[in-house]
A and B are shown apart, each in its own frame.
Chain A
Amino acid sequence: MTPKRKIRLVTAALILTGGTIAAALILTAFEKNLMYFYSPSDVIAGEAPTGRKFRVGGLVVNGSVKRIPRSLTVEFTLSDTVHEVTVEYEGILPDLFREGQGIVAHGKSRPDGTFEASEVLAKHDENYMPPEVASALAAAKSNTPRESAK
């Protein structure tokens, strides 16, 4: 390699490492702020902001969804399998909202610990499969004989 080329190659490598170090420093400095949502454990440990809106994400606990009759109000419990937070929401839920589903709620913590959501978003997982496979998996999990899918 000619010396001139070597200098240019080193310059290119320096630009690349410089960019990486700068980005790494910025991202570590902002770390917590880049989290899109807090987990119920964060909320209970008092790490979530008080007095302003934030997001809490987790799985909807099976059997916890309660609809208040004659209104759009829903109450459910969010869990990260360690801690739980009760969420109250008035509005239309996304199609993917169901028990066991991961969701992200945006709103405020009330003094009594319940979370008053003004927006509920569904998070979907990275698994894609045909309905037959899903029901077969569910059947195998609960150890019941396999039912044919609709």
Chain B
Amino acid sequence: MNFNWLHRYASPMNFYSWSLVATRWLGTVSAILFAVGLTGGLVYAPPDYQQGESFRIIYVHVPSAWMSLFIYMVMVSAGTLGLVWHVKLGDMIARASAPLGAWFTFLALATGSLWGKPMWGTYWVWDARLTSELILLFLYLGYIALQGAIEDRRIAARAGAILALVGTVNIPIIHYSVEWWNTLHQGPTITKFDSPSIDTSMLIPLLLMGLAYIFYFCTIVLIRTRCEILEFERNKTWVKQRALEMESV
């Protein structure tokens, strides 16, 4: 197979230019999706038959939880690209993703806890779903700490990719925890083979919010990756040239 096109787009210099345009579009789409999704979820969706208005926290909680898993998979894939194929951009994307993943995990845990108090009657329980999600937060924090502790970027990227690979096993555990064990957390509503057990009027804003989160993540990760590139390639001529151009503007 010919991967030349991939190498062209993935070279840090080219990536820097096309991602500048991409972030503008991705950011706009994300803002629109957030506006539509939030109004849909907070204003137009009907209240739940059991939980009333408080079920609306689902529009923040569930997409955050999805993102916490999704970003981890992005991090592992990008890290593996760097580890096996020595794609520098992979290392940078993995490094740029970790803090975002950590924040989404934190958001999922925090909103879940706020939701748990009125519905379950407790902020926190040590059931399999909540515990495995907490482990995911620690994996992210461990990854960030490891990256920060190693000064040589290439060694840091390799060590990080290996740590991320080892932690991958937690992702299916989080997803299936509610099916494998008795948990206080309920089973999956949407990510199952059956049709979703949520009313369409409530599902559409949720999916829009999910998309908004994904676009938001793409926007921010591209911006953060550009910072990584500038730091990593600061001695390259193209970076110096760009800096000079910026100065003259």
Query: Which residues of A approach B to under 8 Å, CB–CB?
Result: 5, 8-9, 12, 15-16, 18-20, 22-23, 27, 34-39, 57, 93-96, 104, 119-135
Q: A127-B197, A133-B49 are in contact. Are A57 and B182 (CB under 8 A)?
A: yes
Residues of A within 8 A of B161 (CB): 12
Q: What is the CA–CA distance of A127 and B127 in the complex, to the nearest angstrom?
A: 20
Does B243 have its Cβ within 8 Å of any Cβ on chain A?
no
> Is the CB–CB distance between B119 and A15 below 8 Å?
no
> Is the CB–CB distance between B183 and A36 below 8 Å?
yes
Q: What is the CA–CA distance of A39 and B182 in the complex, to the nearest angstrom?
A: 9
Central interface residue in B48, B170, B182, B186, by most chain A CB within 10 Å: B182
Q: A36-B181, A36-B182, A120-B121 are in contact. List 10 more A-B contacts (CB 8 A).
A: A12-B84, A18-B166, A19-B169, A37-B184, A96-B51, A122-B121, A126-B187, A127-B189, A128-B198, A131-B49
> Is the CB–CB distance between A94 and B83 below 8 Å?
no
Central interface residue in A121, A125, A126, A131, by most chain B CB within 10 Å: A126
Q: What is the CA–CA distance of A35 and B170 in the complex, to the nearest angstrom?
A: 17
Pick from A35, A95, A96, A126: contact of B181, CB under 8 Å = A35
Residues of A within 8 A of B189 (CB): 126-128
Residues of A within 8 A of B183 (CB): 36
Q: What is the CA–CA distance of A53 and B174 in the complex, to the nearest angstrom?
A: 26
Residues of A within 8 A of B182 (CB): 35-39, 57
Does B138 have its Cβ within 8 Å of any Cβ on chain A?
no
Number of interface residues of B (CB under 8 A): 43
Interface secondary structure of A, over-half rule: mixed
Near A by CB (< 8 A), chain B positions 175-207 give 181-184, 186-189, 197-199, 201-202
> Is the CB–CB distance between A95 and B48 below 8 Å?
no
Q: What is the CA–CA distance of A122 and B125 in the complex, to the nearest angstrom?
A: 12
Q: What's the least CB distance linking B103 to chain A, in Å?
A: 25
> Is the CB–CB distance between B125 and A36 below 8 Å?
yes
> Is the CB–CB distance between B121 and A94 below 8 Å?
yes
Q: A122-B121, A126-B187 are in contact. Are A15 and B47 (CB under 8 A)?
A: no
> Is the CB–CB distance between A123 and B80 below 8 Å?
no
Does B167 have its Cβ within 8 Å of any Cβ on chain A?
yes
Q: What's the least CB distance linking B164 to chain A, in Å?
A: 10
Residues of A within 8 A of B181 (CB): 34-36
Pick from A16, A94, A127, A133: contact of B168, CB under 8 Å = A16
- Closest chain A residue, CB of each to CB of B187: A126
Residues of B within 8 A of A127 (CB): 189, 197-198
> Is the CB–CB distance between A128 and B168 below 8 Å?
no
Does B148 have its Cβ within 8 Å of any Cβ on chain A?
no
Q: What's the least CB distance linking A114 to chain B, in Å?
A: 21
Residues of A within 8 A of B50 (CB): 96, 124, 134
